[in-house]
Amino acid sequence: MTGTVGVFALQGDVREHLRVLEGLGVRARGVRRASELDECDALVLPGGESTTMAKLARTFELLEPIRHRIGAGMPVLGTCAGMILLADRVRDGAAGQETIGGLDATVRRNAFGRQVDSFETDLDLAGLDDPVHAVFIRAPWVEEVGPGVEVLATAHDHPVAVRQGNLLATSFHPEVNGEDRVHRLLLDLVQR
């Protein structure tokens, strides 16, 4: 792929995403300001802490530029906290928790609860031949989706991977265990 994939780099597991993207032979860079976003053809919103990420995005004046680019069709992959940031509606969010939005879905933060706070499992993901080894860390799940949202994978009876047009979101962390097929799905969206 020609072009550059940005990784939102104000907070979260930025380095892991950069490593996967570079492993795929893609030009990848951290994004901390709007001028850096301008240089990107796609964006990854990593795992981390969604409340902190949203606050920093507001402080660094990245919130509106990302919203604008999403509206203009830029492909975005959100993983875990990144899924929360993409969602239009959040349950169990912090008071006044803001999101970037764009994904017509309701996402519940820390949804899996204390017993299964963090866990790993193999998941079938629509479009992939072999299961994905999925690592969940205080992960959200999806509770409601609008008509334009396609569910790609479920766990514990809830969607944990979804796609809506140029937006792709997973509850789990595809960047931590050598998996690169979810990032490839993002690159497919860039090629289109």
Say which of 16, 17, 40, 173 is annotated catalytic: 173
Residue 173 catalytic? Answer: yes
**Sites of contact with ligand GLN (CB under 6 A):** 47-50, 80-81, 84, 109-110, 137-138
Residue 80 catalytic? Answer: yes
- Helices and strands (DSSP H and E) totals, the chain: 6, 12
CB-facing half-sphere around the CA of 52: CA atoms within 13 A: 10
Report in angstroms how near the CB of residue 48 gets to ligand GLN at its nearest.
Answer: 5
* Identity of the residue, 101 or 190, whose beta carbon is nearer to ligand GLN in the bound complex: 101
* Identity of the residue, 48 or 102, whose beta carbon is nearer to ligand GLN in the bound complex: 48
Which helix (H) or strand (E) is 64 found in, with range?
A: helix 63-71
Residue 22 catalytic? Answer: no
* Identity of the residue, 49 or 120, whose beta carbon is nearer to ligand GLN in the bound complex: 49
CA distance 100 to 80: 14
Rounded to 5 degrees, φ, ψ at 38 are -55, -30
Catalytic positions, please?
80, 173, 175
